[in-house]
Amino acid sequence: MSEATADAGSGESTLGNTDGRLLIAGGVVGAFALLFVVGTLFPDSTVGTLSYLLLQPGPWSSMLTLAVPITLAAVGGIFAEKSGVINIGLEGLLIISAFTAIFAADTTGSLWVGFGAAILASVLLALVFAVVCIEFRADQIIAGLAIWLIALGFAPFAARIVYGSPNTVSLTNSVPAVRHAGIPVVSPVFQTLSTTNALGPAQALFRASPSVYLMFGVVALGWYLLNRTNFGMWVRASGENPKALDTSGVNVHRVRYAAVLLSGVFAGMGGAALSYNIGQFTGSGQTMVNGKGFIAIVAYLFGNYNPVGAMLSTFLFTLLEAIQNPLQTAGIGVPSDLIGTLPYIGVIVVLALVGRTRIPEAAGDHYETGEDR
């Protein structure tokens, strides 16, 4: 049947989605423009305060920092899902790596070792997920939930054993030092210029923590891997029509393993960045990850499986979160509990508007060589 509808002019096929996305992107830009215009005209109004706040580096800086774990997990999720394995366990990978980073850094005293250990832990958990899904044909959704729940139980469990509480100790000495490291040479220039408010966002960009630049790097790398290398081609083919890949002589299982493990690598970086930013892992309730892995999934769906798109949609969510505190301080606003729900409601609205994202044809399906569909 896929052939049947294929020739009926599918140029428009993706247009519907693109429309929805463009609409939202345009809406956001328009809203900002309106905000600044009104804010300039009426500096004493609520809108004025808001536009003033948005010219400060603060919210933008928070936006970038908050986006790091989500974007990194999203790029990982793109690879897994493009290869045909829906990795709903990203949340679990973030939790396990956020804990491991602090634990290993605390034990060894080296942030680098902690970073590496976080990636390793996340990759190992991703490997469990991959084996269960690819080798034992588990339902990907259920297995992904299991990965989440295992990490959700294990990280606080381990924290309790090591630190006697679901939260770890705080790494005090080294983390805050790198938080606003920025880029050598370039950043100091911006620092001197930063007296003007209009450059607030730019200052946020150039005085960010290394993890923010890591995020930009991973997004670029992810895009390149996916679109320009043969591995990326195999990943895409494996998710769209694994049989085509198999009959071309490429081992589908191997490609899917690689893609899922890669999602572990990226999510591991994200988890480490998350806990490093605070300097501590907090494991009570939903842990400090608190749904970021799920927002990552929405981010890449909304970003149409494009790493750049995923990052931009992440910014949309994290900006909502980032302006909470300034709003609170400025005295406008709604109780923090309710503002806190904004990103989640935003996710739902976005999902409802672009619900019909074209997911890879074979995503969620098992594949066995020699099996005809």
Task: Supply the minimum distance, in Å, between the C-beta of residue 17 and other proteins.
Answer: 11
Alpha helices in 168-251 (DSSP H): 175-179, 186-193, 200-206, 210-228, 230-240, 242-247
Query: How far is 207 from 190, CA to CA, in rounded Å?
Result: 8
Distant-in-sequence, close-in-space partners of 190: CB < 8 Å, separation ≥ 6: 182, 199, 202, 203, 206, 207
Out of 79, 148, 257, 266, the residue judged to bind other proteins by CB under 8 A: 148
Q: Interface residues for other proteins in 265-304 (CB under 8 A)?
A: 285-286, 290-291, 294, 297-298, 301
Task: Supply the minimum distance, in Å, between the C-beta of residue 110 and other proteins.
Answer: 19
Do residues 87 and 263 touch, judged by C-beta distance below 8 A? yes
Out of 146, 171, 218, 311, the residue judged to bind other proteins by CB under 8 A: 146
Q: Interface residues for other proteins in 88-127 (CB under 8 A)?
A: 88
**Residue 58: how many other CB atoms lie within 10 Å:** 18
Q: What is the DSSP letter of 369?
A: T
Query: How far is 176 from 67, CA to CA, in rounded Å?
Result: 18
The two tokens of residue 250 are 């490429």
Out of 54, 147, 205, 327, the residue judged to bind other proteins by CB under 8 A: 147
20 binds other proteins (CB under 8 A): no
160 binds other proteins (CB under 8 A): yes
Q: How far apart are the first and last CA of the chain?
A: 12
Task: Supply the minimum distance, in Å, between the C-beta of residue 38 and other proteins.
Answer: 29
Quickly list DSSP for 207-221. T--HHHHHHHHHHHH
Cβ-based nearer residue to other proteins, 172 or 230: 230
Q: Interface residues for other proteins in 334-353 (CB under 8 A)?
A: 335, 337-338, 340-341, 344-345, 347-348, 351-353
Cβ-based nearer residue to other proteins, 175 or 327: 327
| Choices 52-60, 193-201, 212-220, 226-234 (CB under 8 A): range interacting with other proteins | 226-234
Polymer length of the chain: 373
Q: What is the DSSP letter of 334?
A: -
Task: Supply the minimum distance, in Å, between the C-beta of residue 344 and other proteins.
Answer: 4
Task: Supply the minimum distance, in Å, between the C-beta of residue 369 and other proteins.
Answer: 7
- Give the count of residues interacting with other proteins (CB under 8 A): 88
Q: Interface residues for other proteins in 163-182 (CB under 8 A)?
A: 166
Distant-in-sequence, close-in-space partners of 231: CB < 8 Å, separation ≥ 6: 225, 255, 258
Q: State CA 55 to chain mean position distance.
A: 25
Do residues 308 and 298 touch, judged by C-beta distance below 8 A? no
Cβ-based nearer residue to other proteins, 2 or 195: 2
Out of 137, 189, 196, 217, the residue judged to bind other proteins by CB under 8 A: 137
The two tokens of residue 9 are 């002019």
372 binds other proteins (CB under 8 A): yes
Q: Interface residues for other proteins in 234-263 (CB under 8 A)?
A: 234, 236-237, 240-241, 243-250
Task: Supply the minimum distance, in Å, between the C-beta of residue 117 and other proteins.
Answer: 14
